[in-house]
Chains A and B, each alone.
Chain A
Amino acid sequence: MGTVSRDDREGSQKHLSTVRRLAYRLASDLPFLAKILSALVDNTMKKGNPLGISKDRLSAWSKGLGPSISSETVLYTGCEYQLIPYILPLVERLKGIGAFESGGGLANITFGLRRLGIDLIGSFASLRAKEGEYYNELVKKHFLLIRKVNDDITYLPDELYPGAILYDFGFFEDFTEQAKKVTRLLKEKGVRTVITISPHSLEMFRAVYPSYVDGFDVDVLHYTEVLLKYESKLRFSADEPTSVTLHDPCHLARTMNIFEEPRAILNSIKSVEFREVPYANKRWTTCCGAPIETLLPIISESIGCKRIKELEGSGASIALTLCPFCLANLKKAASTLNSQLKVMDFVELLSWCVK
């Protein structure tokens, strides 16, 4: 569902002239939208990721693991968990521009953007060290957990962002370029299998790359698939009885059809009681709001709050999810609502419970 293949695109080209004609009915509109998108995309193309963060910072999670071994199987982080601490203050500041969401004049917006959209780095001054550490730890937890079942796994210190944002925002040409770079990197390193931890990287590698990059022939797995496959090697048990629910990420459950795997793992954990969210679960899960956090931050947050209320309906004390963006948006919403529900990454629970 939801992916545009190259054949579709070629068919579309034929029709593009009519569409262009329609497009040109508009001369000078939407400068604001264009600027926000440009900033995110230019960074990806020039610096390898949407916020232009250095490789050192993105690979800081692997500190203490020692040099990466040589292996055909890698954990590919997709840089996504590591970017969250930088996205959070950016969104806060975008929300701060009154003009953005409350309908002020165009001049205000342009001014606000000069301050923010282009000068993104300014936003990072407010980056909280603790948050950076938390998200880095999450990546490390994934790695250590997978290593328990497969000690042949390695990581790439000079990983590149797979380009989900380019694809999602409609920059297909830039995306193709980025996808080729990533594919080259994987080839150079002799990678045969990638294990992904974010639904977006999984979707890119498994569902999108094959129709954009010729000869992309890497096996793509989600880490829950790996854990389930080697279930017999793992024993999970909680130290005290805990009730949990699951927020299925849209791109994991609906797009990639992975929702039974995390449930099967949860059901194998001693002392953990799993409670399903009424109605809005599995393929009927509700979006956390994150996809529009940079363009429409206030609506994004409202959607997150609505989702927290749905998750509360499960009666569980912890809500788990398996996507860095869902995690961040739901954490923010839970704190806005002063919810009793604790939002955690799936891997946090597993790390606690693994024996």
Chain B
Amino acid sequence: MKATFEEYHRRLMKALHNEKIALAIGRASESYRKNMSTVLSKYPHTVALAEEVRLIKERSVERWEELLKEAMDNIADNKGQAYFVRTAEEARKLIGELVGRDKVVVKSKSITGEEIDLRHYLQILGNEVWETDLGELMLQLLDEEPMHILSPAIHVPKEEVAKLFSNVMKKEVQPNIQDEVLAAREFLRGNYVRAQVGISGANIVASDTGAVFILENEGNARLTTGFPETHIVLVGIEKLVPTVSDAFKVAEVTWRYAQYTVPSYMSMIGGPSKTGDIEKVITYGAQGPKNYYVVFLDNNRSEMAKDPILKEALYCLRCGGCMYECPVFSLVGGKFGYKYFIGYGAAWVLYIAGLGWAAPIAYTCLRCGRCTERCPVKIDTCKIVLRIRNMFTNKMLIGK
């Protein structure tokens, strides 16, 4: 993966000239701040809970290997199958084998899936793959990259959605948000029923039980993980925490800083579906999936965990709050980044794509620090960015 400042810059400028992006993000930021002040005044304990979560994440990242082993053992005990893969390529290959060919696959939103470019890989193998998160579905149909981690299609207005859906669904869809949501629902229903495989990410994994937690509002992740015969979870090793009670703390802070009092759904998945209703004989593959796989991905996270400064980026809960506070993001959205966004994201970019992408992102950051002000786990972007700039200048000096 190689990039030049020029290529990155071209993407940035193109986004800057797309006025829809700034308009949409401006509106979103305003309502985010309003909602945040409402939810924090209703649940003021969240701030102290966030401090506790920071400690949970610090300790968990420190002992990821131990937590991973425990989680994998527990998943096996629960009659699921757990795998640990080192690289993006290994992850694609493994998931490709688990899925097979000529299958129908439904997918819920996963940043880790984007990281390894999973959808395209499965499509190349000859599978029919559908994103089921509304924003992700729109991007899939537009063949674009996400612009924000929680609202990936934040820059697409309803008129364009109507045009897009009318084309794809071969029927007239009115530029009315209610109608558009309904059209997507009808369109996706059929896919859940036809799909043999559902793929999801995960927000948290509790090692003590191997339980996987997924937060969402649309209900698509429930159907994706519940309807098909096979469910595959792809999750980074930084999502491991020791216990189920830790997981609930992380979950509450995550959804609260994603501006929700409570999300519509949180799924906790411990293994394949089962029943003991006939003669108390436990039988797998009841109403939910029969096959359940959890793929833990490293992809240099273990290297990031060794860096005294950059490891902070692994504490990220993916609440998305920082992005609403970033002045550069407010103009160019996800183009300020590469798969992972804004200043702190440069740490992620460094380890998944190299310094060629990470350096221009680090030098785009204003180091203004407002993201850290918002961050529930106080990830120190200013420090992270300095560290990456220093790596770049070291490389420059060596090159002299």
Contacts and interface: CB of A to CB of B under 8 A. Distances in A.
A2 B382 contact: yes
A170 B392 contact: yes
Interface string B377-400: 000111100111111111111010
B301 interface: no
A295 B363 contact: yes
A126 interface: no
A174 B154 CA distance: 42
Contact of B386 (A4, A32, A286): A4
Max count, chain B CB within 10 A of own CB: residue among A18, A34, A299: A299
A18 B1 CA distance: 17
A4 B359 contact: no
Contacts of A23: 354-355, 391-392, 394-395
Contacts of B4: 29-30, 32, 106
Interface stretch (B50-58, B273-281, B284-292, B368-376): B368-376
Max count, chain A CB within 10 A of own CB: residue among B2, B6, B14, B331: B6
Contact of A106 (B6, B330, B355, B388): B6
A15 B6 CA distance: 29
Interface in A141-181: 167-173
Interface residues of B, number: 58
A279 to B, nearest CB: 6
B307 interface: yes
Max count, chain A CB within 10 A of own CB: residue among B351, B355, B368, B389: B368
Contacts of B370: 250, 254, 284-287
Interface in A98-144: 101-103, 106, 109
Contacts of B6: 32, 103, 106, 109
A261 B227 CA distance: 60
Max count, chain B CB within 10 A of own CB: residue among A16, A29, A34, A254: A29
A291 interface: yes
Contacts of A26: 2, 354-356
A267 B3 CA distance: 52
B89 to A, nearest CB: 14
B328 interface: yes
Contacts of A65: none
Given A106-B6, A291-B367, A292-B366, A298 B354 contact: no
Interface residues of A, number: 56
Interface string A279-303: 1000111110101100110110011
Chain A interface secondary structure, helix, strand, loop or mixed? Answer: helix
Contacts of B354: 22-23, 25-26
Given A8-B308, A8-B309, A168-B386, A1 B327 contact: no
B307 A12 contact: yes
A203 B327 CA distance: 22
A169 B393 CA distance: 8
A10 B330 CA distance: 36
A18 B370 CA distance: 30
Nearest to A25: B354
Interface in B46-102: none
A299 B396 contact: no
B158 interface: no
Contacts of B328: 292, 299, 303
Given A4-B387, A30-B360, A287-B327, A18 B3 contact: no
Nearest to B4: A29
Interface string B4-18: 111001101110100
Contact of B356 (A19, A29, A285): A29
B396 A38 contact: yes
A241 interface: no
Contacts of B392: 23, 30, 33, 170
Interface in B88-142: none
B305 to A, nearest CB: 10
A284 B307 contact: no
A246 B383 CA distance: 27
B364 interface: yes
B27 to A, nearest CB: 14
A283 B362 CA distance: 22
A255 interface: yes
Contacts of B13: 101-103, 298
Contacts of A64: none
Contacts of B10: 103
A3 to B, nearest CB: 7
Contacts of B300: 22
A31 to B, nearest CB: 8
A224 to B, nearest CB: 20
A18 B367 contact: no
B233 interface: no
A2 B383 contact: yes
Contact of A33 (B2, B16, B363, B397): B363
A171 B395 CA distance: 11
B332 interface: yes
A33 B7 CA distance: 12
Contacts of A106: 4, 6
B327 A170 contact: no
Contacts of B382: 1-3, 255
Interface string A24-52: 11100110111001100000000000000
Nearest to A29: B356
A1 B373 CA distance: 10
A306 interface: yes
Contacts of A285: 370
A215 interface: no
B396 A37 contact: yes
B350 interface: yes
A292 B364 contact: yes
In the A-B complex, the 7 residue pairs with the closest CB atoms: A2-B382, A170-B389, A287-B368, A103-B10, A170-B390, A11-B308, A26-B356
29 contacts: A2-B367, A2-B381, A2-B383, A12-B307, A18-B306, A20-B395, A23-B395, A25-B2, A25-B355, A29-B5, A29-B356, A33-B392, A34-B396, A102-B13, A168-B367, A169-B389, A170-B362, A170-B386, A171-B393, A172-B390, A173-B397, A250-B368, A250-B370, A286-B368, A296-B9, A299-B12, A299-B332, A299-B364, A303-B331
Given A19-B391, A23-B392, A29-B4, 11 more contacts: A1-B380, A15-B307, A22-B355, A23-B391, A24-B395, A30-B360, A103-B10, A169-B363, A170-B387, A170-B391, A291-B367
